[in-house]
Amino acid sequence: MKKYSGIIMVGLLALLIGLIVSVQVNTTQGSDPGGLIPLAKAQGLEAELKKVRAEKEAATQRLIELEGLMEDIQKKKAEEDSTLKSILNEQEKYKMAAGLVEVKGSGIIITLDDPEPDEFSDGYSYLMTNYELLLNLVNKLKDAGAEAISINGQRIIATTEISLAGDNVNINTIPTAPPYQIKAIGNPDTIEATITIRYGIIENLKKSGVHVDIVKQGEINIPRYNGILKFRYAQPIVEEEKE
């Protein structure tokens, strides 16, 4: 028995220290989030993030270059042929309707961030567990005449799904997390008035403690849908020889 007493003592002490540390971590996190993150680890992640961002930038540049070359060939041919030219113009129109081009215009930028954690919070993000709020907000924006919408860089198209996948909210299957930056192109005044209506979605968000920031802007940019849009099941219904 005696030979175990030391171990038990050490065990108890360890437990106590563990408790103290965890209480300490909890209280510190509330007032200063990130304050206890080991600096080296954060720096490592920061470096990794920079690296993948640079990789993405390089890939994007390559894509722009290729698309430019492609456009050159098409435009050169289109100059010789007016039918080709009209096809090119039509292509542009439907690409825009499909969300396959980057767009700019007047609009609104809404930033949503989680409420500060209090003694009742369970450690989960309010905005992520209530992701249907994003769904409703997108719907309201469209109702207010928004012509293009993005959330954290993800272009919202008809087939976009917003879903809780594990610890993340996936938008267009890409993981996202708060703070959420929602951009919408349209009439800034109409959009603002629609969402800030009394008892409306923004008021409800604020009541739940969500930090809301709304900025109207003369010009904002919204990225294109990043994936490849291809239908496998939906086939066009061909009307008999439409010319």
Residue list 26-65, contact with other proteins (CB under 8 A):
34, 37, 41-42, 45-46, 48-49, 52-53, 55-56, 59-60, 62-64
Site for other proteins contains 242 (CB under 8 A): no
Q: Are 108 and 183 in contact (CB under 8 A)?
A: yes
Amino acid, single-letter form, for residue 34:
G
Site for other proteins contains 19 (CB under 8 A): no
Site for other proteins contains 219 (CB under 8 A): yes
Q: Which of 40, 73, 120, 207 binds other proteins (CB under 8 A)?
A: 73
Question: Nearest 5 degrees, angle CA 20-CA 16-CA 40?
Answer: 50
Site for other proteins contains 20 (CB under 8 A): no
171: its two tokens: 């938008």
Chain-centre distance of CA 39, in angstroms?
27
Q: Are 107 and 186 in contact (CB under 8 A)?
A: yes
Site for other proteins contains 88 (CB under 8 A): yes
Q: Which of 26, 27, 129, 173 binds other proteins (CB under 8 A)?
A: 173
Closest separation in Å from C-beta 188 to other proteins: 9
Q: Taking CB under 8 A as the criterion, which residues in 89-128 touch other proteins? A: 90-107
Candidates 7-15, 24-32, 85-93, 109-117 — which segment interacts with other proteins by CB under 8 A? 85-93
Site for other proteins contains 129 (CB under 8 A): no
Question: Quick one: which of 111, 76, 61 has its CA closest to 215?
Answer: 111
Instruction: Give the separation between CA 162 and CA 136, rounded to whole angstroms.
Output: 11
Q: Which of 114, 160, 180, 210 binds other proteins (CB under 8 A)?
A: 160
Residues 6+ apart with CB under 8 A from 25: 36
Closest separation in Å from C-beta 102 to other proteins: 5
Strand-pair partners of 1: none
Q: Taking CB under 8 A as the criterion, which residues in 176-215 touch other proteins? A: 176-177, 185-187
φ/ψ of residue 171, rounded to 5: -125, 125
